[in-house]
Amino acid sequence: MLQVNRRRKGKTVLVAGGAGFVGSHLCDALLGRGDTVICVDSYITGSRDNVRPLMNHPGFRLIEQDVCDFLEIDEPLDQIYNLACAASPPQYQADPVHTMMTCVAGTGNLLALAERHGASFLQASTSEVYGDPAEHPQREDYRGNVSCTGPRACYDEGKRAAEALCFDMLRGGRVDARVARIFNTYGPRMQANDGRIVSNLVVQALSGKPLTIYGSGMQTRSFCYVSDLVGGLMALMDVQPNPGVPVNLGNPGEFTINELAQMIRSMVPARTALVYRPLPKDDPQRRRPDISRATELLDWQPTVPLAEGLAQTIGWFAANLAERPRKRTAASRRPRSAAAAQAVPAGS
């Protein structure tokens, strides 16, 4: 039988991928409610800047490590969130073998850690398990239309395998595992070059460049603001009893890529043209979550409208892009020894 440690009022929570876009916001929220947070990240796609404001927080600790390697934590753990995987096509296709191993071996290592500590476990899965869906909107009982040999298979099939591991461990009574299927998420701390549609269009608009749209632009996506998603992840981790089924987390509002581009153009002063390029292989035509299960089981639904979230995201990118040249100039003028002295040591 599962023996979940819930003795302490403030939980000790490990967030794998905690220096990433979503992971860093999750670390913020967990610390904000009084938990102790152990952030594990390899910085393959995460950024130390995302968690730099937390470095002096007494409840925060950072470990630089790849989850594909064995991991042990000496102190008791109550919860483990696994967000450790590149999540945009350019990033996960850059090293597809490592992406697959992160999903499978990495998830296996973290599940073993959860079993040793009696910790609850949440797997950040993805709407990509549905592939290019033949059903719309996507319900959790839809089994998907995924190519197991295509260029996105390292991620799509890797996440499907990770889900299988979680539910096998749950059925075996070994780990209190939960699975969230995350739909398109956006907000501050996205990487400018991560290849996601929101960051691509926002950065291009702010830079005065043409906005690149792949395909006709009539394909649809649903965009969930990061604070809404983090609330859903925490609700799924904490709900009792364990739902025992995957849960979609996303915003059911559906927009074409053309509509998204026009919204961004209207919010950025520079007027830029639209440029159309061929659609990448296996790119889904429609994506929209059915969140009935999340609403029923978690009493959760997103609250941030797309226009409001885009305004926050554009503001963050505008400030971040303006800061980059100053940082590069300062670094180039700094003596090498001084630059080294100011570097943040691993694990600090």
Q: Cα angle vertex 42, ends 41, 47, to 5°?
A: 70
3-state SS, residue 103: helix
Is residue 209 within 8 Å of residue 286, measured between CB atoms? no
Q: Write down how long the chain is.
A: 348
Is residue 108 within 8 Å of residue 166, measured between CB atoms? no
Q: How far apart are CA 196 and CA 108, in angstroms?
A: 27
Q: What are the beta bridge partners of residue 39?
A: 15, 62
- Say which of 155, 186, 214, 225 is annotated catalytic: 155
Q: Where are the alpha helices (DSSP H) in 270-305?
A: 292-298
Whether 81 sits among the annotated catalytic residues: the reply is no
Element (H, E) at 254: none
Q: Residues near 236 by Cβ (< 8 Å), separated by ≥ 6? A: 122, 178, 180, 243, 247, 249, 294, 298, 300
Q: How far apart are CA 175 and CA 122, in angstroms?
A: 10
Is residue 219 within 8 Å of residue 283, measured between CB atoms? yes
Is residue 92 within 8 Å of residue 85, measured between CB atoms? yes
Q: How far apart are CA 310 and CA 127, in angstroms?
A: 21
DSSP state of 278: P
Is residue 94 within 8 Å of residue 86, measured between CB atoms? yes
3-state SS, residue 41: strand
Active site residues: 155
